[in-house]
Structure 1
């Protein structure tokens, strides 16, 4: 990776409930989790949100730092995926409850995929 700094991801046992809930207290971040809930890894450029790229980057960093997502860098491109297995193991049912409530209330529905 030629000098590029790898992002820190908390180990599964380091993922804290307050950190996860704090990361999910924003509609943009809930929307990003909804998009990533299909289990596919997405390039940052595929994600569409009504915010500046720098703000989107901030939201993705908050999710990663809380252990909600995993980020992978490949050259100049960054990819992100939901850490569903880790979250389900640590807090059974939490993610499904959040996703169900978000769909029901349409929280984060304005976040999606480019071209989709």
Structure 2
């Protein structure tokens, strides 16, 4: 008989704790998981993240992020799919995700500029 994981209720902006969220985001592996989730348009299955850690370590990181309310995991068949709680985090802590995980650097203009030529020293000649 296959085990069923109980669905964890999504965190609301009123239940998120800033210390818990920041602690969850302080680990580089967890931060990378959140970065990948933020860049994705769809939930991501646990086994498909691009991180170089053991499966049991990855499970620990997902649990920490879930307990902090940063992500929600739900089952679809045999897959555990993860979703970033971006709206809830933005409501509770406006600008937090943008401050630590910029989406993309926006181009100031569509024209390309070239850098001014650099002077070569006599040692470089």
TM-score category of the 2 structures, normalised to the smaller one: 0.7 to 0.9
Residues 9 and 67, structure 1, Cα contact 8 Å, conserved in 2: no
CA RMSD of aligned residues (A): 2.0
Residues 33 and 82, structure 1, Cα contact 8 Å, conserved in 2: yes
What residue is the counterpart of 2:71 in the other structure? Answer: 69
Selected match of 1:54 from 53, 56, 65: 56
Quote the offset at 1:49 in angstroms.
1.1
What residue is the counterpart of 2:99 in the other structure? Answer: 97
- Report how many aligned residue pairs link the two structures: 101
Segment drifting more, 80-89 vs 41-50: 41-50
Partner of 2:101: helix, strand, or coil?
helix
Quote the offset at 1:7 in angstroms.
4.2
Give the strand-richer structure, 1 or 2: 1
TM alignment of 1:25-64, pairs within 5 A: 25-38=26-39, 39-64=41-66
Cα distance in 2 for residues equivalent to 1:40 and 1:56: 19
Q: Which structure: larger Rg? A: 2
TM alignment of 1:17-32, pairs within 5 A: 17-32=18-33
Q: Which has the higher contact order (CA 8 A, sep 6+)?
A: 1
Unaligned runs of 5+ in 1: 105-116
Unaligned runs of 5+ in 2: 106-125
Moved over 6 A (4+): none
Partner of 1:70: helix, strand, or coil?
strand
What residue is the counterpart of 2:4 in the other structure? Answer: 4
Give the helix-richer structure, 1 or 2: 1
Q: What TM-score, normalized to structure 1?
A: 0.78
